[in-house]
Amino acid sequence: MSIMKLYYAPGACSMASRISLYEIGQDAEFVKTDIRAKRTEDGRDFREINPLGYVPALELDGGEILTENGAILPYIAGLKPGAPGPQSNPLAEARLHQALGFLSSELHKAFGPFFGNPQGDARDAAMTRLNLRLDYVERYLGDGREHWLGDRFSVADAYAFVILKWANHFGISYSARPNIARYVERIGGRDSVRKALADEGLLQPA
Ligand SMILES: N[C@@H](CCC(=O)N[C@@H](CS)C(=O)NCC(=O)O)C(=O)O
């Protein structure tokens, strides 16, 4: 049986899966992928792994491929029951899916246009859409919660952190959103997150 493989691109949403694997101490191989050229670092056509050409893709021990953050992250959470995602009861499970649904289809996608470096009206429109979601996140995190789902770290935090960090690259500041700023700093201080950033070549030298 071969080892699980995560197909990733540095700093992309696939880092949430890497962080989650580190959190539970799950052995895996990490295969760097060029998501523009659709090639893996070992020279394969990435579309043979995920026909849609995006990361993350998780190749399981038996060779099956799992795609979509919303499926991979709960799968990883389930590898070690009790950590890092709550799966103790139907409502906790539903809250995890609610979080991943929002993060994937609302927050992640609202950052999407910025990767295309929009200008003028296009940037303003993307900013309006993103601000609405960031305002929601700021209020959501303002009830004293330490983590996305309450008092425990979960795969939702891994995903939220990776998405919220993208703001740096696009000159979007959280200075007027202190709850988000504190959250990003708190999650960013975890060993698993620091290791993931370092392993993807993204940790600033001290
Ligand atoms: N629906 C997918 C979207 C994943 C996604 O947007 N991946 C980006 C990186 S963060 C990517 O690989 N983009 C390249 C492409 O779409 O061609 C999911 O939620 O897992």
Q: What 3-state class would DSSP assign to 36?
A: coil
Structure tokens at 29: 């191989």
- Ligand 1 atom nearest to 14, measured from its CA: 10
Question: How far is ligand 1, taken at its centre, from the CA of residue 56, in Å?
Answer: 7
Tens-digit pLDDT profile for residues 146-177: 999 998 999 999 999 999 999 999 999 999 99
pLDDT (0 to 100) of residue 90: 86
Q: What 3-state class would DSSP assign to 198?
A: helix
Q: Give the architecture (CATH level 2) of 5-82.
A: 3-Layer(aba) Sandwich (3.40)
Is the model more confident about 91 or about 157?
Answer: 157
Query: Phi first, then psi: what are they for 204, rounded to 5°?
Result: -70, 135
Cα–Cα nearest to 1, from 60, 70, 42, 65:
60
Tens-digit pLDDT profile for residues 21-73: 999 999 999 999 999 999 999 999 999 999 999 999 999 999 999 999 999 99
Domain limits, CATH 3.40.30.10, in the chain: 5-82
Nearest CA, atom 18, ligand 1: 68
Strand 29-34, strand 65-67: pairing: unpaired
Structure tokens at 154: 């979960």
**Residue among 54, 73, 161 to mutate when testing ligand 1 (max atoms within 8 A of CB):** 54
pLDDT (0 to 100) of residue 2: 74
Structure tokens at 181: 């700023």
Residue 83 — very low, low, confident or very high, per pLDDT cuts 50/70/90?
low
Verify cis geometry, omega within 30 degrees of 0, for the bond prior to 51: no
- 24-38, 77-91, 131-145, 169-183, range with the lowest pLDDT: 77-91
- Ligand 1 atom nearest to 104, measured from its CA: 19
Contact (Cβ atoms closer than 8 angstroms) between residue 159 and residue 199: no
Ligand 1: lining residues by beta carbon, under 6 Å: 12-13, 35, 53-56, 68-70, 104
Can you tell me the distance from the alpha carbon of 13 to that of 10, in angstroms, rounded to the nearest whole number? 9
pLDDT (0 to 100) of residue 204: 72
Nearest CA, atom 6, ligand 1: 54
CA atoms within 13 A on the CB side of 18: 28
Nearest CA, atom 9, ligand 1: 12
Cα–Cα nearest to 167, from 206, 205, 199, 138:
138
**Residue among 55, 73, 114 to mutate when testing ligand 1 (max atoms within 8 A of CB):** 55
Domain limits, CATH 1.20.1050.10, in the chain: 90-194
CATH 3.30.2000.10 describes domain 90-194: no
Can you tell me the distance from the alpha carbon of 82 to that of 24, in angstroms, rounded to the nearest whole number? 10
Is the model more confident about 160 or about 84?
Answer: 160
